[in-house]
Structure 1
């Protein structure tokens, strides 16, 4: 791996995949390409044994929680909604454990779409169960809050982002602070107050446009740079 920080990414369970006869574990190619292009070594891992996160991934320099299906509503104390899809309790338990361990251990963590929702629920927040179709297949402008860590990271008051999500952040979890909003008021990015490590959660998919948009690529660069700071010599 050389000097590439090791970025752990939980795989997503899939009912099928091209050229495979059975169920699969997958991740988005653009996501791993964005991490690699930023100088990191992406490691896609099997979502199992949530009680053994530290033992299994003590070698990780940073974590990335990717997009995916919906969390089961009971994790946030809510009732199931008819629009829920691809709910998997094992996936949920694993992702929630990764979020908690990464934040507690001050490991760099970038949370994308479902990943942000996982972090919010892990911190005691809850979700908007269905935003309708307003944020699916959408490229739009969002406003970045002045003086937020995200504003300092991207250096711009607005971003053009690629969204695909039907759930969103409702009540923010403990210590989380909104850093960006869509025009309709939907929270699009979240940071964590008084956190010893580096964390950013975004509701959009920066990997969609990272190859052509330096501001989106910069989010992955920041994850890798922060992971490199704490990486042991290999």
Structure 2
């Protein structure tokens, strides 16, 4: 069974998430503190972590940093306010998705399924952008089979979500994709406020591209594109 690690210090919320996930056939592990989350991550080797931002011991930001230093484990952050997403982006936390409280447990389960689908490397297309393959756009290469991105031949430290977003853009360099299309490629639910997740991933990617950030171009009022000539 696929194991989901639920890191939530509110027992009632953790119980609800666990109930809904088990109904869908997932095994679960529970942690209510940051240190316990790290212990279970190493011991249980979960397929995905649902990680609350506010935790005793170590907060979710520090837990995510430590996990990301050693692993590409998919992480869905659970935050109390929309503004926390901007904070996460600003600090460069490589979460694969964000869910803002109060949330529907069904929404969280849908996000879990979407992120696991991407991380599992299914051959079917996600959001209509085609099957897995290797894309080259100027100095950038995106390998969706290996979930690897290289810039000038050097690997970048990217999340699964960032790979999927780049692949959606790299399929047709120069073509502008709007946020709804990119959100679909990421597997997110079709809600207007969720499109902010696309902007969050783009901000993280530009930081990681460094001097090559111009490869990822914003077309104001429309969306984003990759430019081979930047």
Q: Which has the higher helix share?
A: 2
**TM, length-normalised to structure 1:** 0.38
Relative contact order, CA 8 A, sep 6+: which one is greater?
A: 1
